[in-house]
Amino acid sequence: MYELTDVFINQFIVFLLVFVRMTSLFIISPVFGRQNMPSYLKIGLAVFSTFIIAPLLVNVSISYTNFIDFSIIIFKELLVGIIIGYVSFVLFSAMFVAGQIIDAQIGFGMVNVLDPQSNIQVPLIGNFLYIFAILVFLLVDGHHVLFSALVKSYNIVPINSFFFTKNLINNIIGIFAETFMIALKIGFPIIGAVLISEAALGILSRTIPQMNVFIVGMPMKIGLGLLTLLLILPGFSNTLDYLFDILYAYISIAIQSMTKG
């Protein structure tokens, strides 16, 4: 009787810890972490996923001596999901950085919109690129990859085996740096087009001094920037493919970095 009770308690604890890891993915991930996504839907997905994953961990035994040890275990499980969500969110933030660069070049620097996920002002073009990337991410079942990565994380980072390692910190810094590189690659065509237009305006202002460059230049840069964005949008999927490949690779690297081995 006592053995059956111990098994039931252990399985309940395993279920709770799996639920914590699943729920933590919804805190910051680009798809499930948005505040306009209903909370009951997030909790329902976490519970449903936990019912699927927890039975696979029947041989896992959780040992702790007091409430503090158990709280530390919960905190470790929370960090695993948060780090996976953070990796995906940071790389998607490249869209906002690219939008900020583009807006500053074409004259939309003062035009911002409210992002419902973070409750902060984000660039107009950046918000468009971000939403476009999210739609493509869902279209190619990228959200399934996030779930799959979290499930596979139990093979590499079992319950109560998370550690802050030097490789993990270095990889997170590398991911942060990669965000700016991706943003520059996205914004480079528009930056180049606007730079050429400014050089042309400079030549025209010398040739035709009567022309008001400020009146002509602003709408021209906006039109040229939007036209260039429209032209590169069909090929933007190649950039997103590169972004998603980097995302999947860094998620795998981050999970590998969470263990001492």
Query: What is the reported pLDDT for 2?
Result: 45
How high does pLDDT run on average in the chain?
78
- Which letter, b or e, does each residue of 115-144 get, where b requires 16 or more Cβ atoms within 10 Å of its Cβ? bebeeeebbbbbbbbbeebbebbeeeebbe
- Given a cut of 60, whether residue 117 has pLDDT beyond it is no
pLDDT (tens digit, 9 = 90+) per residue, 172-228?
Answer: 888 888 888 888 888 888 888 878 877 777 777 777 776 676 677 677 777 877 888
- Given a cut of 60, whether residue 261 has pLDDT beyond it is no
Query: What is the reported pLDDT for 184?
Result: 84
Percent of the chain with pLDDT over 70: 86
Q: What is the 3-state secondary structure (H, E, C) of the chain?
A: CHHHHHHHHHHHHHHHHHHHHHHHHHHHCCCCCCCCCCHHHHHHHHHHHHHHHHHHHCCCCCCCCCHHHHHHHHHHHHHHHHHHHHHHHHHHCHHHHHHHHHHHHHCCCCCEEEECCCCEEEEHHHHHHHHHHHHHHHHCCHHHHHHHHHHHHHHHCCCCCCCCCHHHHHHHHHHHHHHHHHHHHHHHHHHHHHHHHHHHHHHHHHHCCCCCHHHHHHHHHHHHHHHHHHHHCCCHHHHHHHHHHHHHHHHHHHHHCCCCC
pTM, two decimals, is 0.80
